[in-house]
């Protein structure tokens, strides 16, 4: 079936986090898409409502098979049922990993910039946050392996939280980079948790490598976290997976989950997940093609209208990292200048010090909305452009 991503669906007054305004502000911020979900997912949810019984539900054999087939056939990540645990979200799982791999006071390493909860969950759980700045080389972020190793030694780091693909920089870390990172972590016995929630949004020309496929002799120290919610734009459904291959590690994760009884999803999430992985591929391919054209449109617009913005071309997902330092001296002023022009982007400083005077734009919306948003950005910033 052909999906119409140009359709503008009013999300105001639905409790949407993204569309929280009372005026006509255009939201180009929080990471969900303004596209209707895949028809098979909507059908699966409707089927449950029609059935009318909403009782306690557990994962079915079909659900496990759908997860296994999706990850095996797309990424050569072959899982058995027992390697798959469920969790209400990737962020709750990040928090859970603190108690799986570390004690209060232990150091946890993350990159800077990074999706904000990587920092907040470490600190809220009483761990020491250590950051390693990404290096920007030829318009792309790279891991600073020498700095990572130095920080691991200096702070006796126990856990490294990796974001692959990277939010907000959009990097899909190469196999070589991941292997180099793994060998450093092995050397100092540092556990790795890889948040791979943006995996399925990898753009053409790039290859996503699940960390677990590299970690054959280090499986006792590697966990990956992923979800169908980002891929299929069903974040409000809530639900995610934890993958690990080592038996003792899986037991430890389950024990931690049991403490708060947080190992189950609701029946809509199980059904959405299963139908997404079984039948969502067609929607995803079309959504990605639309996103690619929105990325091109955005880059082209900014090059033409606001050439002093340095754009980091993403290798995955629909978030683009913009260096706006030529257009402002203060993060809050930059953010508010755009808000005053009725367009909202994420302020880069929320992703760490490296986000100073950067902004993150979400381009997963109908093109007409995106064009209007870009025009507003132009109006807001071009008045300072002299
Ligand atoms: C890297 C990353 N991890 C996790 C999440 C959110 O995951 P969840 O909604 O499953 O907690 C996001 C959402 O934007 C994200 O970008």
CATH of 26-39+281-381, one of 3.90.1150.10, 1.10.10.60, 3.40.50.300, 3.20.20.70: 3.90.1150.10
- Is the pLDDT at 386 greater than 50, yes or no? no
What confidence score (pLDDT) does residue 383 get? 77
> Which residue bears the tokens 């180099």?
180
DSSP 315: S
Distances (CA, A) of 331 to 184, 341, 384: 35, 16, 15
Strands 107-112 and 157-163: parallel
Q: For residue 91, report the distance from its CA to the centre of ligand 1, in Å.
A: 6
Q: What end-to-end distance do the CA atoms of the chain give, in Å?
A: 49
Specify which residues 132 forms β-bridges with: 111
- Per-residue confidence at 384, pLDDT binned at 50, 70, 90? low
227 lines ligand 1 (CB under 6 A): yes
Of 343, 201, 363, the closest CA to residue 295 belongs to: 363
Query: What is the spatial distance between Cα 244 and Cα 53, in angstroms, rounded to a whole number?
Result: 33
317 lines ligand 1 (CB under 6 A): no
The CATH code of the domain at 56-279 is 3.40.640.10
Q: Do domains 26-39+281-381 and 56-279 have the same CATH topology?
A: no
91 lines ligand 1 (CB under 6 A): yes
CB neighbourhood size of 5 (10 A):
20
- pLDDT tens digits for range 173-215: 999 999 999 999 999 999 999 999 999 999 999 999 999 999 9
What does the radius of gyration of the chain's CA atoms come to, in whole angstroms?
21
- pLDDT tens digits for range 110-162: 999 999 999 999 999 999 999 999 999 999 999 999 999 999 999 999 999 99
Q: Where are the domains of the chain?
A: 26-39+281-381, 56-279
Write out the DSSP string of 196-244.
Answer: -TTGGGBPTT-----GGGT-GGGGGGEEEEE-HHHHTT-GGG--EEEE-
- pLDDT tens digits for range 60-75: 999 999 999 999 999 9
């Amino acid at each position: 079936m052909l999906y119409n991503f140009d359709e503008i669906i009013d999300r105001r007054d639905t409790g949407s986090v993204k569309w929280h305004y009372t005026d006509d502000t255009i939201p180009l911020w929080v990471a969900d898409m303004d596209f209707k979900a895949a028809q098979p997912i909507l059908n699966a949810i409707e089927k449950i409502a029609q059935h009318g019984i909403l009782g306690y539900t557990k994962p079915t054999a079909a659900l496990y098979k759908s997860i296994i087939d999706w990850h095996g056939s797309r990424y050569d990540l072959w899982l058995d049922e027992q390697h798959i645990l469920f969790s209400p979200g990737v962020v709750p799982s990040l928090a859970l990993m603190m108690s799986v791999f570390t004690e209060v006071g232990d150091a946890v390493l993350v990159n800077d910039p990074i999706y904000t909860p990587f920092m907040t969950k470490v600190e809220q759980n009483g761990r020491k946050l250590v950051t390693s700045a990404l290096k920007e080389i030829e318009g792309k972020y790279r891991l600073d392996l020498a700095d990572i190793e130095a920080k691991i030694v200096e702070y006796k780091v126990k856990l490294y939280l990796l974001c692959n693909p990277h939010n907000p920089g959009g990097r899909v870390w190469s196999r070589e980079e991941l292997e180099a990172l793994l060998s450093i972590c092995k050397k100092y016995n540092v556990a790795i948790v890889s948040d791979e929630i943006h995996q399925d949004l990898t753009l053409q020309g790039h290859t996503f490598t699940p960390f677990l496929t590299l970690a054959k002799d280090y499986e006792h120290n590697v966990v990956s976290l992923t979800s169908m919610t980002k891929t299929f734009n069903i974040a409000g459904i809530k639900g995610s997976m934890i993958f690990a291959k080592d038996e003792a590690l899986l037991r430890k994760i389950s024990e931690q989950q049991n403490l708060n009884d947080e190992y189950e999803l609701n029946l809509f999430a199980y059904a959405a997940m299963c139908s997404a992985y079984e039948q969502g591929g067609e929607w995803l391919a079309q959504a990605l093609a639309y996103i690619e054209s929105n990325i091109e449109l955005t880059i082209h617009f900014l090059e033409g209208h606001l050439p002093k913005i340095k754009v980091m071309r993403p290798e995955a997902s629909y978030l683009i990292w913009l260096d706006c330092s030529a257009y402002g001296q203060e993060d809050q002023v930059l953010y508010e200048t755009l808000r005053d022009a009725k367009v909202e982007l994420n302020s880069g400083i929320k992703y760490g010090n490296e986000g100073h005077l950067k902004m993150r734009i979400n381009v997963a919306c109908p093109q007409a909305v995106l064009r209007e948003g870009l025009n507003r950005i132009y109006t807001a910033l071009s008045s300072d452009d002299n």
